[in-house]
Amino acid sequence: MAPPLLTLQNVALTLGGKPLISSADLSVERGDRICLVGRNGSGKSTLLKIAAGEIEPDGGARFFQPDATVRYLPQEPDLSGFPDVHSFVVAGLGPSDADYRAHYLLDALGLTGSENPKNLSGGEARRAALARALAPQPDILLLDEPTNHLDLPAIEWLESELAGLRSALVIISHDRRFLQNLSRSAVWLDRGATKRLDRGFGEFESWRDAVLEQEERDAQKLDRKIVAEEHWVRYGVTARRKRNVRRMSELGALREARRTATKAVGEVKISVAEGLVSGKLVVEAEKIAKSYDDRPIVKGLSLRMLRGDRLALVGPNGAGKTTLINLLTGVLPPDSGSVRLGANLQMATLDQRRAALDPNATLADTLTGGGSDWVEINGERKHVIGYMKDFLFPPEQARTPTKNLSGGERARLLLARALAQPSNFLVLDEPTNDLDLETLDLLQETLSDYPGTLLLVSHDRDFIDRVAGSVIASEGDGAWVEYAGGYSDMLRQRGAGLTLTPARNTPEKKLRRADPRPAAEVKRRLSFSEKHALETLPAQIEHLRAKAAKLHEILHDHDLYARDPKRFADATALLAKVEAEFAAAEDRWLELEILREELNG
């Protein structure tokens, strides 16, 4: 068996006088697909930096195969010092790497390469960093939150790209669907130490819960043993002095073990402050339109939101999701059409840009509004320290300025403040950003029980599936279409995913529903070849789907590349060809099916 490409053994690191990592192990072999999971602040990013050689640990050992290549994607990539994005990406290539791969990735990620790094948005910088990390096709890819700032089309493209690589992957992500689809092993960093599960993320959470339950049982057994020993000390029959000394020493050891046992971090406790019952009608939009610089953002959209509805907006970055939220909530007037808000609305909002936080205000003042130590939740006053604890903030952080908080802490703080406001209409713009998996779980449960109305924007597919009752998707050119159900239901109804770069991809234009064909074209009939294609394409698509599934199964053998490089290369090339044929066949069928529907009325 080949030795691991990368090994961390008993790694330890102390930051700011506090042990962050005490005993962490990580072993990465060829073809591994590992997700690194743990609470916010547990040290996941730090451990990944140690693995990448960016940080030297205080203790333990790091071994790296000399001939192996590794690429690391940090959470906040630094593009300074490069004249353009192409130069930044090419700088990550090795001597034997081909430049064409950099061009392919930049184009696939919607970048030209000529962009000035100083003018990039967070999402564009993340795409450039992804292109730099993926271009060399290294032996090991260390990815810290690769889906941050990416929209749904880019996330799905990245997922497909990573699935086809031969590189070993170590991924930190809060995107459940992403981890479920890519991982085959899970490393849990908890209280400074690591535990490994040689199964994918889909089975991690039940395994983690079982581990914590066993820890609780062991702690209870230890408590009972301490009580029994203390009873013996007080009331037992006096025995030989040597035996007494031994048992007293054992009792001291038991007490020390119980005292130094590291307890699991407490759970987040989320509750929503409920407002008055709103009217049955919450929002009614009638043929609203909005454009910027002659570019349509919303065109001819009509919808009604009733009390209790849960509506999610999805689309590529730049499609206008935040603009549409502002239109529907009355913050922004439409260019044409009308928006009517219902009676008795009490709206609470969460801003994805974190712009609502005063960087110099303390955590306590942010929650209370200043001048008080109390927060009112559902008519009951709660001390701000207790409310902070519900969101995992220790008391000593009460006077901490918000500018000193981490991304995850700022996300929890904004969530705590938004949910403390009495509301019957929650408007959440990217509420899942920077939240850990446990907090996401509780947020989903809380929103599911929320009696009011919910309007949200999210790029988390699993979150949308669990929370939303309907989805409005951007179809490009200002068109928005509503689908019943969650994100997965939308994909089934739509017949295709969201496009990555709307301006350059044709499927989005083919699927557009707000721009009918010219009348002269509508009057014609399907030709014989078009009818034949409609009848035969479904079988062809299924055949190609089955063929791709078999090739994926072959490539999922992580030892294949080492055992038979030629077969791996042939299967990879054939899979790319089959997937291209599948996409072309599906696009053709969609085009013909839409044409048939239009010709029939």
Instruction: Cite the annotated binding site by residue number.
Output: 38-45, 315-322
Q: Tell me the C-alpha distance between 464 and 43, whole Å.
A: 28
Closest of 460, 283, 436, 430 to residue 349, by C-alpha: 430
Give, in order, the Cα–Cα distances in Å from 297 to each of 62, 122, 152, 318, 325. 51, 21, 18, 9, 12
DSSP 401: B
Amino acid (one-letter) located at 137: Q
Place of tokens 């096709």: 137
Return the H-helix or E-strand segment holding 470.
Answer: strand 470-476
Tell whether the torsion through CA atoms of 176, 179, 181 and 185 is positive or negative.
negative
Tokens, residue 13: 């690191």
Q: Tell me the C-alpha distance between 56 and 595, whole Å.
A: 61
Which residue(s) pair with 8 in the sheet? 26, 62
Q: Tell me the C-alpha distance between 443 and 151, whole Å.
A: 21
Q: What is the largest CA-CA distance in the chain?
A: 108
Give, in order, the Cα–Cα distances in Å from 435 to each of 38, 116, 484. 11, 31, 27
Q: Tell me the C-alpha distance between 166 and 187, whole Å.
A: 20
Chain Cα centroid distance, residue 157: 14
Collect all residues with Cβ–Cβ distance below 8 Å to 213 and sequence separation of at least 6. none
Q: Tell me the C-alpha distance between 556 and 184, whole Å.
A: 10
Give, in order, the Cα–Cα distances in Å from 232 to each of 117, 237, 238, 377. 72, 8, 9, 49
Binding residues for ATP: 38-45, 315-322
Collect all residues with Cβ–Cβ distance below 8 Å to 164 and sequence separation of at least 6. 555, 572, 575, 576
Other residues' Cβ atoms within 10 Å of the Cβ of residue 243:
10
Helical packing angle, 565-599 and 528-555, nearest 10°: 150
Cβ-contact 133, 143 below 8 angstroms: yes
In the three-class reduction of DSSP (H, G, I as helix; E, B as strand; rest coil), residue 427 is classed as strand
Q: Tell me the C-alpha distance between 194 and 532, whole Å.
A: 58
CA neighbours closer than 13 Å in the CB half-sphere of residue 482: 14
Q: Terminus-to-terminus CA distance in the chain, angstroms?
A: 64
Tokens, residue 52: 């990448």
DSSP 240: -
